Amino acid sequence: MKILISNDDGIDAPGIRALTDLALEFADEVVVVAPNKCFSGMSHSITMHSPLFVDKVCDQKFDDGKQLTMYATNGSPVDCIKIALDELIKHSLPDLILSGVNHGSNSNISVIYSGTMGAATEGAFYGIPSIGFSLTTHDQSADLAPTIHFARQIIAKAISLPSLTPTLCWNVNVPHLPLEKIEGIKFARQTVGVWREDFMKNSNPRGQEYYWMSGRFYNAEPEAHQSDEHCLKNGYVTIVPVQLDMTDYKFLEANGWEF
């Protein structure tokens, strides 16, 4: 097996290091292509008006014959997947793509904004099964052991599926809890809700005004037991299967597929 890994926190983030170590348990070859700095919240952005630079930062063969190659780029998470599949490893594509482990939840509508899931969905666009992993805390020193414990089970489940279906794209979120307090793993659906932003207005020493954005998620269905937010709140790791086709089929059916 060959696994490709990316993220949006950057190649030096603790989450991608932990996920790389885990991938080497499953794969004979692991290739990491990740941004050289944090690209959180970049969604599915791509670089079009400036060049991409790629630096090989690791090329290691282990005693058991396994191979680890790591590249850092100045591009977004989606750039990383594109340049990996179309250039760096185009003659030997991976069997599975992993993204993360992200520091910060990508549940609910956050999946739309997530650079972590941007990398995963891009991999799925290429017909390669892809999984994005996130931990529900931004603390860079958080214990990743519980996340890796459940990621191991989820990867094993994914590769056990018939022919490792190419349509597989999973958004996995792990609650920031000690291992013994996590209840298990549940398939869930995306929570209905919306982010509302707050902008703090200030001025720099030159008198130029600027805005600093923050915000919070408003859950429109806090008691919906099948939603990812409810499951996470109750101590479960959530897997939301992500659909890449954004067509509103209910609208088409209601209108007879005609204009």
Please name which of 120, 140, 172 lies closest in space to residue 5, comparing C-alpha atoms.
120
Q: Is residue 212 part of a domain?
A: no
Q: Is residue 259 part of a domain?
A: no
Question: How is the beta sheet containing 130-135 ordered, strand by strand?
Answer: 54-61, 67-73, 29-35, 2-6, 96-103, 130-135, 169-174, 236-241, 184-187
Instruction: Specify the CATH number for the domain of residue 70.
Output: 3.40.1210.10
**pLDDT, the chain, mean:** 93
- What are residue 210's phi and psi, to 5 degrees? -145, 165
Q: Is residue 149 part of a domain?
A: yes
Q: Is residue 133 part of a domain?
A: yes
Q: Is residue 186 part of a domain?
A: yes
Q: Which domain holds residue 129?
A: 2-191+225-254
Q: Are strands 67-73 and 54-61 parallel, antiparallel or unpaired?
A: antiparallel
Q: What percent of the chain has pLDDT over 70?
A: 100
Domain count within the chain:
1
Q: Is residue 208 part of a domain?
A: no
More confident residue, 16 or 167: 16
Provide the b/e sequence for 184-221 (b: ≥16 CB within 10 Å): ebbebebbebeeeeeeeeeeeeeeeeeeeeeeebebee
Q: Is residue 10 part of a domain?
A: yes
Residue 172 has a pLDDT of 98
More confident residue, 136 or 43: 136
Q: Is residue 106 part of a domain?
A: yes
The answer to whether 82 touches 153, Cβ cutoff 8 Å, is: no
Place of tokens 């997947």: 81
When pLDDT is averaged across residues 75-103 and rounded to a whole number, the result is 97
What pLDDT digit, counting tens, does each position of 153-204 carry?
999 999 998 877 778 999 999 999 999 999 999 999 999 887 777 888 899 8
DSSP category for residue 84: I
Q: What is the pTM of this model?
A: 0.91
94, 210, 248, 251 from 123: Cα distances, Å: 10, 36, 23, 28
Q: How confident is the model at residue 231 (pLDDT cuts 50, 70, 90)?
A: very high
